[in-house]
Structure 1
Amino acid sequence: KVKITTDLRKYTAPARGSKAWKTIFKRRTAVERVNAYLKLYFQLDNVRYRTGKRSKVHFDLVTLVYNASKLAADRIRKMLESQQKQVA
């Protein structure tokens, strides 16, 4: 066993490879996937506002549109699955 204080980058809490680490890492990768999607398709890496208020409004609108589109896609998928179950 190695103390965390020796090298925080190498020996983290919870320890890498543990079950707790895997659950935390899964959550983090899910969030990073969404961030990458927003940067790629909604131009969040290219915000041209200088003030924080305008860029926050831009970010809020982008996340609103993203969440609404995901909600609509999930509802459409659920509806199509229920229709296919009724046919089969």
Structure 2
Amino acid sequence: SSNYGYTLKYNWKENPRHWGYPLRSSDLWQKLYDKRTSVERCNSRLKKYLNLDNIRSKGIKKVKVHSLLNCIALIAGTIALNSRKSIDKAA
């Protein structure tokens, strides 16, 4: 029951290049897709607010440290914002 054809009658093991796994009508595909969208939102925030798309360091180690520090800053900001909201709700 999908808009691009019948997937349930075809076996993905017979032709894995033609029929992908997991099938789009399955719950597993929906869970994976939800994870993908959350990762894309996180990447977008890192690029937009923390300037991750404009790194001026040279070397993979320096870039990795820079991006990990940006991830820590994003998580810390999210925790601070959520704790502030919970304090306001309690008061």
Same fold (TM over 0.5): yes
Scaled by the length of structure 2, what TM-score is found? Answer: 0.79
RCO greater where, 1 or 2, for CA within 8 Å and sep 6 or more? 2
5+ unaligned residues in a row in structure 2: which ranges? Answer: 1-8
CA–CA distance in structure 1, aligned partners of residues 16 and 27 of structure 2: 21
Counterpart of 1:36, as a letter, is S
- Displacement after TM superposition at 1:68 (Å): 0.6
Correspondence for 1:56 among 49, 59, 64: 64
* 1:28 paired to 2:36: yes
Task: Give distance in 2, aligned partners of 1:24 and 1:32.
Answer: 12
1:6 to 15, 29, 36: 15
The amino acid across from 1:61 in the alignment is: L
Which amino acid is the alignment partner of residue 43 of structure 1? N
**1:40 and 2:40 are equivalent in the alignment:** no
Q: Where in structure 1 are there 5+ consecutive unaligned residues?
A: 84-88
Superposition TM-score, scaled by structure 1 size: 0.81
Identical aligned pairs, as a percentage?
30
Within the alignment, does 1:16 sit opposite 2:21 as a pair?
Answer: no
Q: Deviation per CA, 1:36-60: give whole Å up to 9, x if none.
A: 1101111111112220111111111
**Deviations for 1:15-68, whole angstroms, at most 9, x for unmatched residues?**
012111111111110111101110111111111222011111111111111111
Q: CA RMSD in A?
A: 1.6
Structure 1 residues 28-37 or 43-52, which shifts more? 43-52
More helix by share: 1
